[in-house]
Structure 1
């Protein structure tokens, strides 16, 4: 009689599949919990902003991305701050890693429309708009915003926009570090404009001699915790009243044939929102930019002052020249010549 062959247990084969199934079930439960929390917190944040005076409306929110991402799609987004500044988007899409939802990336795949308080709307189309925010648990987050090959088109009846298009527009902010540690109430900011092209006849086109304008500007913002998007007068209003300022201002400008390095120890805003302080400028071929500015047909440019400044700098020819630009009394001054209104923060 032949002995029966031993039967092998299949339990060992099933155990890995059971473990994988349990892990998958646990991860799926976490993903649904996470996405539910995202929707709840988003709704709560919208309600808080509405109570602060914001006008926010949007279509039905959908959340997808299982298993490794949380993807939130918000159609027909509309938001206007109490100060009147706002944004509209046919669609916003936000994504984060499900295993570490501390960094979010938001894109507007179909463009944006900016509402400038009192100045009208301007549509932004082109290669795309991207916004990211990380370190959500820190006092100040890391923020990055980027427009890729944007085209700026003012709506009918709106005031002109200085730029017609650009290769790239970028903005970055992060907590300021002192000796490797985050400072108590300071924030680093950086603005970069690459190959901007001004609207025909405007001040940017004039200063760039119908060429391109590139700008890199960085600074440290003091009293950063007083920046408040809920302010009726704008994000900088309460900050100005608290003594907020820009320090360590460094910049580099390329406008057509003109090159300049900018530096300021301190700039701040007047109660009316106009910038106050002075910039030292080490410029190459400044006459070209000033003469182009004087020749623009923008109502914001003081034509007589720009012509006078061009005449005053003409003897320097193409030699490098050290200049001082003052923001004073709500105007921008080069020596005794008023060029234009000072930049307005709110």
Structure 2
């Protein structure tokens, strides 16, 4: 009996040790940091250099805000995580630093999610309510919305600083977040941690749901009008918008939602403890901030045309989508091309 117990303990210890060796390395952290900084810097350059062309319409303002949130969050947090790995985990975050990192991680993820949601509804209103959308004050309206988004994200991400829950240094000690781990009754502040976890996760999942609904509505609208109403000349931007909307919705939902679901599972008691799962889910969430600028850069019309023309060369076939993208740009709203009053939009 004792022999079997020894075997069981030995096996468990080896599994944990193997897991530690696999995940306690600086490779993923370094890659995310480099790609995040380069991508957001490149997107910032593209947006600013093309200011004379886009004249800072609402969509470009949202892109700029997304770059600021994503790039700023990565720069403000990942150097500390990198140092933790470089020190071979001998350096431990002091409590004030952990509270700071918890705020930065939560703020970056939530503000990025809300800005993507706002971008989706920007396309939604531009498509379904073009006259309302194209009011003279749309630039000011966008700035106000972004201010509200940052304020809400800041408040939601700093509640642990005011006594609602706590922050926690989570496995492998390279990141801090709201304490959704210690929600059992034997832990101090368990009730506050549980409430905070529910508030943050439910808000995050609500943002995901609204983003998917808005994106799906826009995509269905264009697909229906292009392929089921025999109106192929609906404007060359239709293809770009459909591709951008679907890619953003898929990546955002698939990378952000799992972390929110995991937090809800901890808060409800369905799961407990911490291991590499939470680390992977956080990296998935941060990957969204890393991928956002690359999506914007790669899905620009010029890049899409280059990629599709390369596909034409390889397949030796002409693609109709290239003609749609390179056709004459009437600069009109998407709905206007369906024999409706024409209004100028970005």
Question: Structure 1 length normalisation: TM-score?
Answer: 0.29
Question: Structure 2 length normalisation: TM-score?
Answer: 0.29
* Greater fraction strand: 1
Structure of greater Rg: 1
